[in-house]
């Protein structure tokens, strides 16, 4: 699996679908991967980006602290697959030279990566060969279920590549 190294770029709010959008930017190309996430995850990511902590540890803070306390290092996180229109990620952990992997949501992986200063990667197929689809307005489901609905089917690479050349994070702002 070929991987694109990415970094946190921005958090925006998609008013149409009432959901935060996490933007990851390719480290070598001017490409962005938008990932629709939940409100709580967006708040946690925002705190990690600005290096602030909540009055009491949030779940991601707790998880990172527990890992450190038991001698586990987060090596990298990878947004590695798409199944039934839902993104999946894997956290790679190192404990005394033994590698462990943990399946998780992309928003959780990014929140942990930002706290642990580790690299974030996206599978090249996801980064460069996905097509966004329009949704009907829905009245339920939040967080990464909306991300899943928003996100994707592989197809028509040419038109999607043109779309990616033109899209910027400001396209997701309400006019």
- CATH code of residue 125: 3.10.690.10
Residues 6+ apart with CB under 8 A from 104: 88, 89, 90, 91, 112
Mean pLDDT of 169-173: 66
Q: Residue 121 pLDDT > 70, yes or no?
A: yes
Reduced to 3 states, what is the DSSP secondary structure of residue 96? Answer: coil
- Tokens 């990464």 sit on residue: 144
Query: Any idea how long the chain is?
Result: 175
H or E stretch covering 115: helix 106-116
Instruction: Domain count for the chain, please give it.
Output: 1
pTM for the structure as a whole: 0.74
- Summarised one tens digit per residue, pLDDT across range 12-63 is 998 888 899 999 999 888 888 889 999 999 999 999 999 998 899 999 999 9
């Amino acid at each position: 699996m070929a991987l694109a190294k990415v970094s946190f770029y921005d958090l925006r709010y998609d008013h149409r679908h009432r959901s935060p959008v996490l933007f990851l930017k390719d480290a070598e190309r001017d490409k962005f991967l938008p990932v629709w996430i939940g409100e709580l995850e967006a708040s946690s990511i925002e705190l990690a980006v600005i290096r602030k902590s909540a009055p009491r540890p949030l779940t991601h803070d707790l998880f990172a602290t527990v890992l450190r306390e038991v001698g586990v290092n987060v090596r990298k996180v990878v947004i590695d697959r798409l199944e039934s229109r839902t993104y999946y990620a894997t956290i790679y952990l190192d404990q005394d030279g033994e590698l462990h992997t943990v399946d998780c949501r992309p928003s959780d992986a990014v929140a942990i990566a930002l706290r642990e200063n580790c690299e974030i990667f996206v599978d090249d197929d996801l980064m460069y060969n996905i097509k966004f689809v329009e949704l009907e307005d829905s009245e339920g489901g939040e967080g990464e279920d909306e991300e899943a609905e928003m996100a994707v089917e592989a197809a028509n690479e040419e038109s999607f590549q043109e779309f990616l050349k033109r899209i910027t994070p400001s396209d997701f702002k309400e006019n």
